[in-house]
Amino acid sequence: MRRSRWMGIAGAAAVALPLVAADWKPRRRVEIATEPERAPSYWMCTIPPLPKFPRLDRELQVDVAVVGGGFTGLAAAYYLKKLEPSLRVVLLEAQRFGSGASSRNSGGVRARFRGHDPSPSAARGYQLLQTFAETEGIDFDLAEGIPCITLYSAAQRCPNPDLTGDELAREIGSPFYATAEVSTANWLHPGKLIAGLVEANQRRGTELYEWSPVVRIDRGRSITLHTPGGRVTAQHLVLATNGYTQQLGFARSVLLTMHHRVIVTRPLTPAEWERSGLERWPFRLEAGGYYTHTVRSTPDRRFFYRHVLGHRAFEGTSWQISEREREIGRRELLQRYPWLAGVPIEYEWHGVTARTADWWPVSGQVDENIYVAAGYNGSGVMPTHFFGFLLAQSILGNPDPDLALLRPPRTHPRLPGGWLRHLAFQGWIEYRRWRGSRTPAAQAESTGATPQPLDVAV
């Protein structure tokens, strides 16, 4: 081979190898163990503080260990103890219970999987959430029939428009959207659901530990979990770690983390409330599926807004929100709702979701005695509860017609591999942002009266 050819190969290897090596790093490093404490969401700030639970500082031998104290893990532990009270069940959470996506979401609940697909199983999942509230006497403000609009920009085709752009400008104070479809949604208070699940687990005798990240898993006939201060040996393991699952070395090729930012304003004045149209249209979703925004009202009449931050290379789970990202968020918000300029923001937080290629959760058995449920594609409030229940049924060997819903990683389509996929996905997000910044509404905003900055007071 010619010398120049060898030099070319060596040069390419010198560039590629560090990237490949970097992609391997997270397989050995559990970033969650060193993550700073997450800022609490509006939801957690508006309920009485949850009881605090100890760090694991000893060795335990249990029947089932559940890792991850969000909706999935809390539901799995609860149903294991409810269905088989004699089991010894431990639940290990890296930070506070609910401090992952479960307390950071928009609270929309659908009797559907994947955001669409009504089915008898999805109806059963929704019913299970209602039964949980009744059985345990817990109120998490589940409300049905909330007016909901799905909003389309001029570039998107709305199949059955119910509202025109002019009507939207009048009714919700937005010059941005061209059409909308009207439907209804259900919602709940995510903080109250977390509190209820924690309380129900306490009552049923689940052993609860906070600030106890699992940093190593030794597989075998029994499983040993290591935390910085203790160790758990278990017959069965449930991984309920959603967007953090890849860090533990599971489902890496089928799960993709996606980061969001949520802001909540101070309570709106009567005039702003009128302008917002939130009384009539309190829940709003953008059409588009990937790079979308959610708006809703809160019980104390604030404006709640979720937008996408993007992907972080190598499935990182923390995201320091930069001034540039705040500025992009502000620009997109004012494109949609210019009258919000100058309304102070009182809450801001970041949240991680996990995506799959076919929009179906990664769920079920991954090994003889290891189970997982993760990757709800941003629609997890109902499915997390149901899949927690199904994992409990599966571990207990109980027959259940809906066990067929479980789809372990090997049955999922793989996401295109390695670091390149982050470039591709982030590139797509940047393109959407660029396109968004060139809409007529954005241009009008940039040439009109200079809006005051949105003050972030968090």
Q: 102-121 mask for ligand FAD (x: CB under 6 A)? A: x-xxxxx-------------
- Measured from the CB of residue 438, what is the shortest distance to ligand FAD in angstroms? 26
Compute the least distance from the CB of residue 348 to ligand FAD, in Å: 12
Instruction: Annotate 196-212 with three-state secondary structure.
Output: HHHHHHHHHCCEEECCC
Cα–Cα distance measured from residue 66 to residue 72, given in angstroms and rounded to the nearest whole number? 10
Spacing of C-alpha 419 from chain mean position:
22
- Residues 352-411 binding ligand FAD (CB under 6 A) are 353, 374, 376, 378-381, 384
3-class secondary structure, 133: helix
Q: Which residue is nearest to ligand FAD (CB)?
A: 380
Q: Which is nearer to ligand FAD, 56 or 178 (CB)?
A: 56
Under the binding rule (CB under 6 A), the answer on residue 244 touching ligand FAD is yes
The verdict on 241 binding ligand FAD (CB under 6 A) reads yes
Tell me the three state secondary structure of residue 434.
helix
Three-class SS of residue 164?
A: strand
From residue 49 to residue 78, the character string flagging contacts with ligand FAD as x (rule: CB under 6 A) and all else as - is ------------------xxxxxxx-----
Sign, CA torsion 122/124/128/131: positive
* Contact window for ligand FAD (CB under 6 A) among 98-106, 150-158, 403-411, 445-453: 98-106
Contacts by 178-183 with C-beta closer than 8 Å and gap 24+?
178/152, 178/153, 178/154, 179/151, 179/152, 180/149, 180/150, 180/151, 180/152, 181/149, 181/150, 181/152, 182/147, 182/148, 182/149, 183/148, 183/149, 183/150
Q: Which residue from 351, 364, 409, 436 is in contact with ligand FAD, where contact means CB under 6 A?
A: 351
- Give the range of 97-105, 126-134, 154-162, 272-280 binding ligand FAD by CB under 6 A: 97-105
Give the HSE-up count for residue 215: Cα atoms under 13 Å, Cβ half-sphere: 16
Q: Is 306 near ligand FAD (CB under 6 A)?
A: yes
State the minimum distance, in angstroms, from the CB of residue 389 to ligand FAD.
Answer: 13
Enclosing H/E stretch for 108:
strand 108-109
Please pick, from the candidates 56, 87, 99, 311, the single residue that binds ligand FAD as defined by CB under 6 A.
99
Least distance to ligand FAD, CB of residue 284, Å: 11
Positive/negative CA dihedral, 379, 267, 282, 46: positive
How would DSSP label each residue in 359-399?
Answer: S--EEEEEETTEEEEE--TT--HHHHHHHHHHHHHHHHT--
Which DSSP state fits 229? S
Under rule CB under 6 A, residue 260 binds ligand FAD: yes
**Contact range with ligand FAD by CB under 6 A, out of 99-107, 162-170, 297-305, 415-423:** 99-107
Residue 213 is a binding residue for ligand FAD (CB under 6 A): yes
> Which residue ranges make up the site for ligand FAD (CB under 6 A)?
30, 32, 67-73, 92-95, 99-102, 104-108, 213-214, 240-244, 248, 260, 262, 306, 351, 353, 374, 376, 378-381, 384
